[in-house]
Chains A and B, each alone.
Chain A
Amino acid sequence: MKVSPINPFIPAYLQRPAVSQDLPAGGATDFGQMLRQALGEVNKLQQNADVAAKKLVLGEAEDVHQVMIAMEQARLALQLTVQVRNKLVEAYQEISRMQI
């Protein structure tokens, strides 16, 4: 007896990642790349804050407010990163809870 293969539940055109074809090659819209870039910027802000705090401690800082602003920007960027991570984890859990 011949067993016919199960028809794919998801249509074939949805299985393929549509991103790779529609976008021009070399575009920076790859999600991973975008995330890496954003994380790099957050890291840069953290390093800025570090340098500013060090300068303040060593007495080289020109302005107190520059130090405070650098630290505040680093804090806000980190909070934004944490929120993005929360959203990602949330989405992942939503999918992993899905009944198959």
Chain B
Amino acid sequence: MRIFQAMKISASGLTAERFRLDLIASNVANVNTTRTEQGGPYRRKTAVFAERLDEASRAGGGVRVAAVSVDRSEPRLVFEPEHPDADAAGYVAYPNINIVQEMVDMITATRAYEANVTAFNASKSMFLKALEIGRG
């Protein structure tokens, strides 16, 4: 039903923000990971969002996750010669994750999620207000 378009858009935003939080959780969990499938340390992951098109609606269809981008910046080198993954000079490549930045991203993801819930509730109360037309 077209009357639920705003709710559909809010739902897409909720899904996108939840996915972003998944990636942040993965980044935080892997902050000390030195081994991955591709070899080398874990690399920070971020979500790339794209607008979702909807032919039926001029307001569009919300947002979708277009890709997961991998941060290619240099890994953090720590001198730990006794570590099994240390290189010849005794340095271990740790993931390029800054935990403070991840925390800030987590807050923005949480707040964006809340904003989408607020937008959803606003469209719901508009719907309920419309049902009151002609009453009383």
User: Footprint of B on A, CB under 8 Å?
Assistant: 41, 45, 63, 65-66, 69, 72-73, 76-77, 79-80, 83, 87
Contact = CB atoms under 8 A, between A and B. Distances in A.
B18 to A, nearest CB: 6
Contact of A65 (B14, B124, B131, B134): B14
17 contacts: A63-B14, A63-B18, A65-B11, A65-B14, A65-B15, A65-B18, A66-B15, A69-B7, A72-B7, A73-B7, A76-B4, A76-B124, A76-B127, A79-B128, A80-B127, A83-B131, A87-B134
A73 B1 CA distance: 10
A90 to B, nearest CB: 10
A34 B11 CA distance: 28
Interface of B: 1, 4, 7, 10-11, 14-15, 18, 117, 120, 124, 127-128, 131, 134
Contacts of A79: 128, 131
Contacts of B15: 63, 65-66
Contact of A76 (B11, B128, B134): B128
B124 A72 contact: yes
A65 B10 CA distance: 10
A69 B11 contact: yes
Contacts of A63: 14-15, 18
